[in-house]
Amino acid sequence: MQAARCPTDELSLTNCAVVNENDFQSGQHVIVRTSPSHRYTFTLRTHPSVVPGSIAFSLTQRKWAGLYIGQETEVSLYTFDKTKQCVGTMTIEIDFLQKKSIDSNPYDTDKMAGEFIQQFNNQAFSVGQQLVFSFNGKLFSLVVKDIEAMDPSILKGEQGADKRQKIELGLVPGNSQVAFEKAENSSLNLIGEAKTKENRQSIINPDWNFEKMGIEGLDKEFSDIFQRMFSSRMFPAEIVEQMGCKHVKGILLYGPTGCGKTLLARQIGKMLNAREPKVVNGPEILGKDVRESEANIRKLFADAEEEQRRLGANSGLHIIIFDEIDAICKQRGSMAGSTGVHDTVVNQLLSKIDGVEQLNNILVIGMTNRPDLIDEALLRPGRLEVKMEIGLPDEKGRLQILHIHTARMRGHRLLSADIDIKELATEYVFECTPFLRSKTLVFYIFRQKFERLRLCPPHSGKTALAAKIAEESNFSFIKICSPDKMIGFSETAKCQAMKKIFNDAYNSQLSCVVVDDIERLLDYVPVGPRFSNLVLQALLVLLKKDPPQGRKLLIIGTTSHKDVLQQMELLTAFSTTIHVPNIATGEQLLEALELLGNFNDKERTIIAQQVKDKKVLIGIKKLLMLIEMSLQMDPEYRVRKFLALLREEGA
């Protein structure tokens, strides 16, 4: 084919060679050989003014390839291997095209990189290639300095060392990363993170530094989200289409309050080559009336709709984050007597995510600690189809959190050498928020430890034993379901409180729930209305329900009426029963007094003379009460008082 001059200035800025549509099709890639040892790759566009048999180049292209008007060239089609030749990162040298256009204004390389990807999407680039780039009304001269291919293992969700390879020729998909370097002796003023190769990060990096991200303890969750949601966006749209895949449009992050859902969602937006995420709190959507609420939803998607109409597949990714999404997306029809605003908002949101005019350039992230309240239609495929639990951190995650948030203390030598971070991470489960924000971290840890030790109060019997068993088991998360915390609760409120206790326990890898004084929980009395059947059935369901996969739960119950629980079929929910007997002999009484340490050796000797070889029948709780009453007396009378109280109790 014969080299020709580019027909228009607009086509010169496309960085494409121009041909007649009878010779090639627009979007094809060709190799142009100017000599046996010189070959150059171009992407094609068509224009009717180009004579068949000719191939037109801009002035910059002719300079780069050493072409002159009328030169005969050999042109052949070229097909890219899109699993190996897609550009992951590209470094470009930049300068003003003309000296008269030089100015001192700052140029944002992040915006410049986004515009570059939009202008030259799906085009071929070679190391050393020269081109002209239009940005903010200015023309710039560019030279491609370095190209790295995308790592194909990312599609498989693999992690490890960076496997990207340097290549001489690559195809630029819509999610490539571009870094600009100022040309030597240039007066161009560059700002932004994409101004040097060292300061920028690739679009998605499996080896992302979680400490710098501030989402420590969520490595596994972040990796799973990456594999399920973003791998399809790493490669050109046609590859995804050929594989029969569709981009995931939405994800629901759910779990206990304070475990990092909002933080994780924000960091997802930062780690992608996407538009600035829009973060909105659920209740903020609701306006004075239905129309205002619908308009608020439409505004969130307006930018994505406009850009998709203008750029199509070249549109950037728009991320919309809904915090407390359950506030606006409750089950439709569930709010009796409401104005219908919630139902309308759900309908509007569904139509925007997966309506008649589908958007392929959006990612909707919803967050909630009540996934059961959300309308089921929002969770079906094509909408918020990926559901990810963000639970309490495991031991590895807790160790990460503690290391990061004690780093400054260690640096200033304010952390005692006898504090074992690994031991704390192994023994205790916390919710993350206080640790992420508290400046009194170590005090908080030990306050938590003190509160746990209080599970064995001084005036307990079975409850104390149950709590002691729970603590000795080294289960890192212990919850007590006690009737004294539910005084005045209705039956429904009591069921909800018990359900929350068990749900909290499920969030930990290894948990223990102590259900104290079961007959009191059930409102049992020996006469009249015997018990609450609603609470009984709820408790039976909770006791027999298996914990989620990978979680272990120990349940310890206490009761003074084993026969009553047997009639209610509650005993079958427990694997075993253990009888906690009263003190039965004088020897056992003396042993208890020695362990409790309330009387001195002389006093215990006097007591031993009175109770030795005698039968004694008294519970630990009653014994502690008698000791406490005796200690109120003067020292010379308290043994006599204790023995008198024993006789009065018939012990």
Q: Which residues are catalytic?
A: 462-463, 516-517, 544, 621
For residue 318, give the nearest of 109, 208, 155, 174 by alpha carbon.
Answer: 174
Would you mind telling me the total number of residues written for the chain in this entry? 651
Between CA 177 and CA 390 the distance in angstroms is 30
Residue 544: exposed, middle, or buried by beta-carbon count in 10 A (0-12, 13-18, 19+)?
exposed
Q: Tell me, what amino acid is at 594?
A: E
Provide the angle, in degrees to the nearest 10, between the axes of the packed helices 290-311 and 341-354.
10
Between CA 368 and CA 349 the distance in angstroms is 16
Provide the token pair at 559.
Answer: 């009761």
Write the DSSP symbol of residue 232. Answer: G
Q: Does residue 472 contact residue 484 with C-beta atoms inside 8 Å? A: no
The single residue listed with the structure tokens 């030259």 is 120
Between CA 407 and CA 462 the distance in angstroms is 43
Helix (H, G, I), strand (E, B) or coil at 128: coil
Q: Which residues pair with 134 in a beta bridge?
A: 139
For residue 115, give the nearest of 93, 135, 88 by alpha carbon.
Answer: 135
Residue 19: exposed, middle, or buried by beta-carbon count in 10 A (0-12, 13-18, 19+)?
buried
Backbone angles phi, psi at 500, to 5 degrees: -65, -40
Between CA 368 and CA 381 the distance in angstroms is 19
10 Å Cβ neighbour count for 540? 15
Between CA 477 and CA 466 the distance in angstroms is 14
Provide the token pair at 273.
Answer: 């080559």
Between CA 540 and CA 542 the distance in angstroms is 6
Write the DSSP symbol of residue 546. Answer: P
Three-class SS string for 65-93? Answer: HCCCCCCECEEEEECCCCCCCEEEEEEEE
Q: Which residues neighbour 163 within 8 Å (Cβ) at sequence distance 6 or greater?
A: 151, 153
